[in-house]
Copies of this chain bind each other. A is one copy, B any other.
Amino acid sequence: MADSKPAVDGEPMDMEALLQSVFGIVIDEAIQKGTSASEKVCEWKEPEELKQLLDLELQSQGESQEQILERCRAVIRYSVKTGHPRFFNQLFSGLDPHALAGRIITESLNTSQYTYEIAPVFVLMEEEVLKKLRALVGWSSGDGVFCPGGSVSNMYAMNLARYQRYPDCKQRGLRALPPLALFTSKECHYSINKGAAFLGLGTDSVRVVKADERGKMIPEDLERQIFQAEAEGSVPFLVSATSGTTVLGAFDPLDAIADVCQRHGLWFHVDAAWGGSVLLSQMHRHLLDGIQRADSVAWNPHKLLAAGLQCSALLLRDTSNLLKRCHGSQASYLFQQDKFYDVALDTGDKVVQCGRRVDCLKLWLMWKAQGGQGLEQRIDQAFALARYLVEEIKKREGFELVMEPEFVNVCFWFVPPSLRGKQERPDYTKRLAQVAPVLKERMVKEGSMMIGYQPHGTRANFFRMVVANPALTHADIDFLLDELERLGQDL
């Protein structure tokens, strides 16, 4: 039954040799060069050229080991280095070696997180990690699960909230229910809208609550909206507050929102995908005061904790097995009840997926290595570096803060020489809006750094610096500002 090619099927020695070579390439190209400030953060190619370079087409004939290793090198070469100290583009960055070690072990074990039978270590480990995250929220009991991303965690919360209110929905569907309404601020993540559409509620069911100029939900407007929804014949069932909004990094006032939820008997969800990790910091966790009053919390350690994509926990205060009742379907081929161990350990029926990746090991291993203290230090360091950036921005001509940040999102404009002091000109805003896209193109094509920009409400395109990579130093922050000046000096 052996393969006819000189290939690796069933040949452990070849398998080992290949993987050793690939490990070497990963160490050299992705780890060393990928995190070195003297290397490019990206090697820009136009799509058509990149297609040629990668020779993507899948053929009938296999290729030699040498060709395959060359392909591995090319894939890494032309990929963006998200662990690079000048990658500021997303809410995730950096490269934690312990988390990466956990990810590599996860991949080598290749199992699914549904039964104790085939994932004994990870069933127990997931529960322990979730318990720790819940403790940081302030809960001594509860439930939870790792989801494929924060958007899915938010959808889970929405589904659990409606099931708790109307268990009939699972069987009879939304048509058997009154029209439902949920509430979130205009600064919420777009997954709330996507979730409402996917879950059949429709985006009209999302009532948009006003936010103040810092981006925080206004609890008084929330209550106004609840009354209005009721007056229009809808049944409010859920409020989704945000701890760490995507652009401004705002924290909704959770205690005041919890009061409103309590008065109206609403499920209180906190989307802390971005800001949840602040709970590790004694100094800054006050930003999430009141989170212990939530019914559910979405928290992505793959963002500020750099655990690696994806690591997204949905945490629940519930102790009534709501997850399993809401999502379970008791598949008899997988969740046999006549097993020789406690089948409560078969947690796969808590989720709407079947096979589910192991997302706990990377976080667990990193936590074991750094300790809660080490992780706390990282959070505090990120806040301190964000503060340093703010002060530097204030010192430099041509840089203008959008607002004082309260988190590690630092939003600012770079005003190029030709626009300085011209705020009164009628085309100022329009011209300022064109600056960020030009600078972005220049930095990406040079490969010197990557930072995101966006318009926001009536504000023209501004940069959103995200201080998340634990390897960042003052020098990297200085570089960011110097580089924007250099790239924009002729504008």
Interface size of A by CB at 8 A reads 176
- Beta-carbon contact of B461 and A338 below 8 Å: yes
B residues in contact with A194, CB < 8 Å: 327, 329, 352
Q: How many Å lie between the Cα of A420 and that of B31 in the bound state?
A: 61
- Is the pair A118, B80 in contact by a Cβ cutoff of 8 Å? yes
- Whether B353 pairs with A151 at a CB distance below 8 angstroms is yes
A151-190, CB < 8 A from B: 151-152, 155, 159, 169-177, 179, 189-190
Q: Closest approach, in angstroms, between the C-beta of A371 and any C-beta of chain B?
A: 4
Bound CA span A234–B60, Å: 47
- Tell me whether A150 and B473 are in contact (CB under 8 A): no
Say yes or no: B199 contacts A1, CB within 8 Å: no
Stretch from A94-102, A287-295, A391-399 at the B interface: A94-102
Within 8 A of B (CB), among A1-48: 1, 3-5, 7-10, 12, 14-16, 18-20, 22-23, 26-27, 30-32, 34-36, 42, 44-47
Please name 14 pairs of A and B residues whose Cβ atoms are closer than 8 Å in the assembled complex, sorted by A. A8-B98, A10-B470, A19-B23, A34-B109, A56-B124, A75-B361, A80-B111, A150-B355, A170-B197, A171-B204, A172-B202, A198-B199, A310-B355, A336-B437
> Which residues of the partner chain B approach A46 to less than 8 Å between Cβ atoms?
341
Mark out the residues of chain A between 327 and 384 whose CB falls within 8 Å of any chain B CB in the assembled complex: 327, 329, 331-334, 336, 338-342, 345, 352-357, 361, 364-365, 367-374, 377-378, 381, 384
Q: A473 to B202, Cβ gap below 8 A? A: no
User: Beyond the given A5-B371, A54-B124, could you list 8 further A-B residue pairs with CB under 8 A, ordered by the A residue number?
Assistant: A60-B371, A92-B355, A110-B308, A151-B352, A152-B353, A176-B202, A190-B331, A198-B327
